Structure 1
Amino acid sequence: MTTTEYRVTGMTCGHCEASVRREVGRITGVGDIDVSAATGRLVVTATTELDDDAVFAAVDEAGYRAVRA
């Protein structure tokens, strides 16, 4: 298992968190997702090495921007 932390900009509410969680959850190998609009933090635990570009694309699809923390 690998855990990677990202900073996400633009989230303001629970709906934002749910959108990010849904899109990131579609990435193969993702097991656990912790996302907080209050802190702008996204922590993803995966069974394999996580592809940052896949996470960035998923967060972008949800309508936000992410960078690796």
Structure 2
Amino acid sequence: MSTVRIVGWAVVALVLMALAVPWFLWGEAGTAAGLPVWLWWHIGWMALASVVFAVFARTDWGLGIEEVPRRG
């Protein structure tokens, strides 16, 4: 079970890293509420990353690091 959780969190981390830089918004001059759209992307991404980290810290902190006692 822990291997599935490790892989799952690794995928989540890779997706968050891939979305950290909004490549598709380069050259976009649009604004929303007086701020550039790319800045709103970063605000949303930081909020999402904070929530994901909070969930990780509460549920699986130490996963893949702490030694699991072996049976037998």
Return the index of the structure with the highest Cα Rg: 2
The structure in which a higher percent of residues are helix is: 2
Give the TM-score normalised by structure 2: 0.30
